[in-house]
Structures are given as structure tokens and as C-alpha cells.
Amino acid sequence: MKHYSEAELLAEVKRRLALPEQSCGCVVARQDGMETDKMLAARLRTWYAEMLRGAPAALLPVRDIKERLEPLGTGVFLLPDGVERIVSVRGKGWLRPVRRTVEFNCPEELRSRFPGLEPTPEMPMLAREGRLIELRPEAEPAELLAVAPPEEGFEMNEGLFNYLDLNKLWE
């Protein structure tokens, strides 16, 4: 996992696009240099936000955020701002982690309310709506892994550049 500032990511993308650096040792009169950088930086921020929501988690910063959860009741928590994706949840006393999250009031979540069909430590469930999550069966989280971006800049595996369509940066 590598951390980039905005300027470092911009320089890396320009290198991959084979754009010349402005300090090439010659005098060039350019009027579009700063505007091009601003445009590329804005598109890179948009691309990174999309990747946080949809790219493979192995290429993104995954952190245990259980300490940052805000408890609202037994088994009910509020996720911190900026957390888009939950990768894995393990509750205390559960035999296996939750690998899939369901939305509140979806058919699977509604079925789980019937006696005999409720989640168990062998088959736990995580229901989510926005920042609100509910662990079922009720438990304190032992581990909650989520894609969580850094406070500043960009953090990613080098393989994430394979998801960057360099031609789209110029559209």
C-alpha cells in the first residue's frame, strides 16, 4: 500500500500519460499548464472516490474501525464518516465473520425476523442503512474491517492504476 499526496498522484499519472514535466530544462510558453493540472486533479479525486466504492478491497486501504464506531444500543452502531464499504465483521461470540451485508427491509432481512430463521453465531448477519448498522445476533464487534480512506491524500496498491482509464481523464 502506498500513500500519495495529490501532487504526487498527479505527477505519477502525468508520468503514465507521458506528459512532459514543466521543469524540462527548456523555456516553454504555456497557458494551459495550471488549468490542466486542476482538471486532472479534480478527475483523479472523482476516480478515487469511485474506486473506494467499487474496486477490489485488496487494492484499497482496509482498516479495523471497531474503535471508531458510535454505539446506539445493543448490537446497533453508527459508522464513522467516510466509510463506504464494510469488508468483514466478526462479533464477539460468533463462530464466523459476516461476509455479506444486507439492507434494512430487504427480503432477506425481513425473513431473518421470523422465529427459526433469525441469524445465529454460525450464520451471522449485518443489516445496514446509510451509516447505521445492526449486528445480528446482537454482539459487540470483535473486528470490523472497512475500506477507509486516509485523512489526506490517496492510499492504494499500485494495481489500482490498472483501473484508471487514462483516456477518460481527457474527456
- The answer to whether residues 69 and 108 belong to one domain is yes
| 84 in the same domain as 23 | no
CA distance 90 to 22: 50
pLDDT at residue number 25: 60
Count of structural domains within the chain = 2
Give the Cα separation of 48 and 42 in Å (integer).
10
Number of neighbouring beta carbons within 10 Å of residue 157: 15
Three-state secondary structure call for residue 151: coil
Same domain flag for 22 and 40: yes
- 113 and 79, same structural domain? yes
Residues contacting residue 159 through CB under 8 Å, at least 6 positions apart: 59
Residue 114 CB neighbour total at 10 angstroms: 8
Examine the domain organization and report whether 141 and 97 are in the same domain.
yes
Q: What is the DSSP code string of 100-131?
A: -EEETTSHHHHHTTSTTTS--SSS-EEEEETT
Q: CA nearest 170: which of 28, 15, 4, 42?
A: 42
Return per-residue pLDDT of the chain as tens, 171 residues.
Answer: 999 999 999 999 988 887 666 555 655 555 655 677 888 899 999 999 999 999 999 999 999 999 999 999 889 999 998 888 999 999 999 999 996 789 999 999 999 989 999 999 999 999 999 999 999 999 999 999 999 888 899 999 999 999 998 888 776
Q: State the pLDDT at residue 29.
A: 56
C-alpha cell at 160: 489500482
115 and 41 in a common domain:
no
What does the alpha-carbon distance between residue 145 and residue 58 come to, in Å, rounded to a whole number?
12
Instruction: Return the pLDDT at 34.
Output: 61
DSSP helix/strand/coil, 39: helix
Q: Please indicate, yes or no, whether residues 55 and 30 belong to a single structural domain of this protein.
A: yes
